[in-house]
Chains A and B, each alone.
Chain A
Amino acid sequence: MRDPRQMFTAFTRMKSLCASTLIGAVMMLTPNLMMFETQASENSKHEEAPKLHEWSFAGAFGRYDTAQIRRGFKVYKEVCSTCHSVKMLAFRNLSQPGGPEFSEREVAELAASYKIKDGPNDAGDFYDRPGRPSDRFPPPFANEQAARAAMSGAYPPDMSVLAKARGHSRGFPRFLLDAIPGVSYQEVGADYVASLLMGYAEPPADVKIPDGQYYNIYMPGRRIGMPSPLSDGAVTYDDGAPQTAEQYAKDVAAFMMWVAEPHLDARKRIGLGVISFLIVFAGLLYFTKRKIWSNVSH
């Protein structure tokens, strides 16, 4: 366990369920939860379970909070986009229902402020032109190699589906409850992102952090290549929301969830209609069936 090479592989892993499954095993074997927690914090290799946040989009009736997604977009644009791409996000998405819902004019203006590489033109040359709403966000680096060269070897992952690509095992029996109406839990990705952004800490005395890496209690292996990106007051909000790092973290996590699942509002809205219909329909079928079978002993 103390072999530094192993620690390094743990760091390079995008995500480690290993820790959580081990924690699950410990939970099953030791009824004393306190004991399990001290064990986990002593073992600095494994990440902490993400903090649970209040999300407007949680649960069957949950919807994105437009103001929050707008603030999150601002944080992304002013902070994250320096290193992280969102290749699948098009400018036009920003005006679609169930997102930040900017006006089409705002989107056109925003798009025009970006330079998009296009071509070849009639002369066979590639050229830069102002962006259009149909364009996707241009990435900060031309390719992975360029990113690694600029970021001392680290590769900032694309943020398009990142909020769905991160999880944390909830262990038995909680994972069973996570699918149940009323107590369902599908927001682990957003919780992870928001926790991670606030998860930087001084490493314990016995943990050595190599240069260019940082100690983060929510990162698998607890080592992360990204320096703490958010600080109080770094982004100016114009809607009166608190300008704290914690608020930025929550807002940008909500924004990333929207980028990863842009049709969540429609999905849940339609889902309620579908389920309501099906329950009524199944009820009618039940009474029809009962009527038909009423003259047969079975």
Chain B
Amino acid sequence: MSGPSQYTPKSNFAKWLERRLPIISFVYDSFVAYPVPKNLNYMWTFGAILSFMLVAQIITGVVLAMHYTPEVSFAFNSVENIMRDVNWGWALRYAHANGASMFFLAVYIHIFRGMYYGSYKEPRELLWILGVVIFMVMMATGFLGYVLPWGQMSFWAATVITNLFSALPVVGPSITTWLLGGYSVDNATLNRFFALHYLLPFIIVAIVALHVWALHVTGQNNPDGVEVKNVKKDTVPFTPYATMKDGFAIGVFLVLYAWMTFFVPNYLGHPDNYIEANPLVTPPHIVPEWYFLPFYAILRAIPNKLLGVIALFMSILIAAALPWLDTSKVKSGTYRPTFRKFYWIFVAVSIGLGYLGSQPAEGAFLWVARVLTFYYFFHFLVILPVLSRREKTTAVPNSIAEAVENRGASHA
């Protein structure tokens, strides 16, 4: 939190350093003394899990980059070479590929937690928008990374996604050519995708820094959605309370991550990506990675290509407008019974869109996808604004301390 530092340097070196670069007090105030609402549940550990995953992806990724060759005739074989002949290469590559999935799993839980507890509301609008930006850069990074092994799905996913830009009027085709570095996905594309895939994670690090900075200014939201009134009564210091709880959550998350990496490493992948890219053979079904499926369903639900692309981007960007769509003064879904019902319907719709994204866009699948796409936007543009005005909320506690006391009383 902002304000004078809680850190007093003791040693001479710390005093010397503090006068010149107050880095110790910065770390101390941010990760030791920083007050954390004491009513946070385990849904609040995903920030730490995501930070861990970001670092894990960068470390495995940098080592993989030492062995990978971004050239169309070598890329596929260089990945197989990593799997076969590089010491621990199989572990690095499976950890990185599954790490991307775990990263997205965590980010989806993180985002849906924010939606349930109204974490986007005043004064956390910018914090939320930064989160949406991080999510978008993550999506770009995930897509670029999927292209690098240069399998059939890599190649055709790159073709489909870059093709989206050609839907733009007038400038579309030129932009697509510019993105590809040619007229089709080829060596120039692979090379620049590799360069960007290496660059973007560091951009994410920078935006995460802003995200955490903004968080530390406003303080965390919490399951009761009431702001901290009394630091002594409502909060506990970050260390050891939050650090230990986050540590435990990361430990549990790692068990899942290790299971995926060591025992079912290809479960989330597509067998076609073990066939080397071939521009002359189109796979019968081009499907993106699972974490893009809901958006892919929205794209294909709309018969017009340009409108489909607009719907795709809007379905992500609309989240940034949440603070102004949901104007209810009550933050937490805990005290909004009607909102809660619509929230879970929205979760089900999002998962349903994900399933439909994996199916061919035809017949009943297509029509259900259209209904769900309509509902997806309806939730943001109609349900949330109307709910904010009409809904009867239940009594919100006056403070975090009171909420904790009430809960203790009802448990006893």
- Taking Cβ atoms with an 8 Å cutoff, the residues of A that contact B are 12-18, 21-22, 24-25, 29, 60, 88, 93, 160-162, 164-167, 172, 178-179, 181, 184, 186, 188-189, 220, 260, 262-263, 266-268, 270-272, 274-275, 278-279, 281-282, 285-286, 288-289, 292-293, 296-298
Q: Which of A21, A88, A166, A292 is within 8 Å of B360, CB to CB?
A: A21
Separation of A278 and B83 alpha carbons in the complex (Å)? 24
Say whether B408 contacts A16, CB under 8 Å: no
- Taking Cβ atoms with an 8 Å cutoff, the residues of B that contact A are 38-40, 77, 80, 83-84, 90-91, 94, 152, 236, 240-241, 244-245, 247-248, 251-252, 254-255, 258-267, 270-272, 274-275, 281, 283-285, 355, 359-360, 363-365, 404-405, 408
Say whether A298 contacts B38, CB under 8 Å: yes
Q: Which of B251, B264, B355 is within 8 Å of A184, CB to CB?
A: B264
B83 / chain A contacts, CB cutoff of 8 Å = 263
Residue of A nearest to B236 (CB): A296
B364 / chain A contacts, CB cutoff of 8 Å = 25, 29
Say whether B90 contacts A267, CB under 8 Å: yes
Say whether B240 contacts A292, CB under 8 Å: yes
Given contacts A12-B281, A292-B244, 4 further A-B contacts (CB under 8 A): A164-B274, A184-B264, A285-B248, A296-B241
Separation of A20 and B258 alpha carbons in the complex (Å)? 30
Separation of A296 and B404 alpha carbons in the complex (Å)? 10
Known contacts A267-B90, A278-B254: does B275 contact A60 (CB below 8 Å)? no
Residue of A nearest to B281 (CB): A14
19 residue pairs bridging A and B, Cβ less than 8 Å apart:
A13-B284, A14-B272, A14-B281, A15-B284, A18-B284, A22-B360, A29-B364, A88-B80, A178-B264, A184-B263, A184-B267, A186-B266, A263-B84, A267-B91, A268-B262, A270-B262, A279-B255, A297-B408, A298-B38
Residue of B nearest to A96 (CB): B84
Say whether A292 contacts B241, CB under 8 Å: yes
Separation of A274 and B95 alpha carbons in the complex (Å)? 13
Say whether A289 contacts B408, CB under 8 Å: no
B77 / chain A contacts, CB cutoff of 8 Å = 88
Residue of B nearest to A165 (CB): B274
Say whether B248 contacts A179, CB under 8 Å: no
Separation of A150 and B283 alpha carbons in the complex (Å)? 26
Separation of A25 and B355 alpha carbons in the complex (Å)? 12
Separation of A161 and B236 alpha carbons in the complex (Å)? 53
What is the distance, in angstroms, from B76's C-beta to the closest C-beta of chain A? 9
Say whether B258 contacts A263, CB under 8 Å: no
Say whether B359 contacts A25, CB under 8 Å: yes
A186 / chain B contacts, CB cutoff of 8 Å = 263-264, 266-267
Say whether A278 contacts B275, CB under 8 Å: no
B281 / chain A contacts, CB cutoff of 8 Å = 12-14
Separation of A260 and B83 alpha carbons in the complex (Å)? 10
Known contacts A14-B281, A270-B262, A282-B251: does B80 contact A160 (CB below 8 Å)? yes
What is the distance, in angstroms, from A178's C-beta to the closest C-beta of chain B? 6
Known contacts A164-B266, A278-B255, A297-B408: does B271 contact A262 (CB below 8 Å)? no
A285 / chain B contacts, CB cutoff of 8 Å = 244, 247-248, 251
Say whether A164 contacts B271, CB under 8 Å: yes
B262 / chain A contacts, CB cutoff of 8 Å = 267-268, 270-272, 274-275
Residue of A nearest to B282 (CB): A13
Say whether A179 contacts B244, CB under 8 Å: no
A179 / chain B contacts, CB cutoff of 8 Å = 260, 264, 267
Say whether B245 contacts A21, CB under 8 Å: no
Say whether A298 contacts B252, CB under 8 Å: no
Say whether B241 contacts A293, CB under 8 Å: yes
Separation of A146 and B270 alpha carbons in the complex (Å)? 30
Say whether B258 contacts A165, CB under 8 Å: no
B259 / chain A contacts, CB cutoff of 8 Å = 181, 271, 275
Say whether B285 contacts A21, CB under 8 Å: yes
Say whether B404 contacts A297, CB under 8 Å: yes
Separation of A229 and B84 alpha carbons in the complex (Å)? 29
B94 / chain A contacts, CB cutoff of 8 Å = 267
